[in-house]
Amino acid sequence: MVKFIIIAALASSFALTACESYTDNKTENAVISETASSEVKGTEDGSVRLEVGDTEKNNDEQNKGMLIMIGNKRFTVELENNATVEALQKEMSLTLEMSELNGNEKYCYLDEPLPHVPENIGHINKGDIMLFGDNCMVIFYKSFDTPYSYTRVGHIDDTSELTETLGAGDVRVKFELE
């Protein structure tokens, strides 16, 4: 009986090791296929060759900058490179009626949820644009510490006139690709 238990334990150990190894390879392949662009090309001798493109160039092309218009003021936004931004870019141009909250931010709930991977930010900087939950777009116009988690969307490059432009009440903000 003890011999059977030892054999079963060893077999389980080998099975778990095999699953772990398979999972790691699968994850690595998924990352490669998501970040590298590739093209299959035929050659003169009839064989097939896979060419991998320049990943950074492709990400830059996909992740254009964004502009936001508040009244007659235009602000440029440096975007994050994540699934939230990719989904948001597909919705451009977008005009949101944003509400005031806490004297430091404007927010608006979107009609559709976006992909999100919230993280505990710890500190918000004036000009941060973030997603709270999966559908609440937030523009921060003051810096402060926070215990809340957000998904980063981008950051307004020049915030010198941001607080005055957003004003004290609700505001209409137009988001568009640069």
pLDDT truncated to tens, each residue of the chain (178 aa)? 444 444 444 344 333 333 333 233 333 332 322 333 334 344 454 434 333 333 343 444 455 689 999 999 999 999 999 999 999 999 888 999 999 999 999 999 999 999 999 999 999 999 999 999 999 999 999 999 999 999 999 999 999 999 999 988 999 999 999 8
Note whether 77 and 109 are same-domain residues. yes
Q: Is residue 74 part of a domain?
A: yes
- Paired residues of 140 in beta bridges: 105
Report the distance separating Cα 87 and Cα 92, nearest Å. Answer: 9
Domain range for 119: 65-177
Note whether 69 and 58 are same-domain residues. no
**Could you tell me the CATH number of the domain that includes residue 81?**
2.40.100.20
Predicted pLDDT at 8: 42
- Which letter does DSSP use for residue 133 in this model? T
Residue 41: both structure tokens together:
């090309």
Residue 24: both structure tokens together:
């790691």
- Which letter does DSSP use for residue 142 in this model? S
Residue 1: both structure tokens together:
């009986």
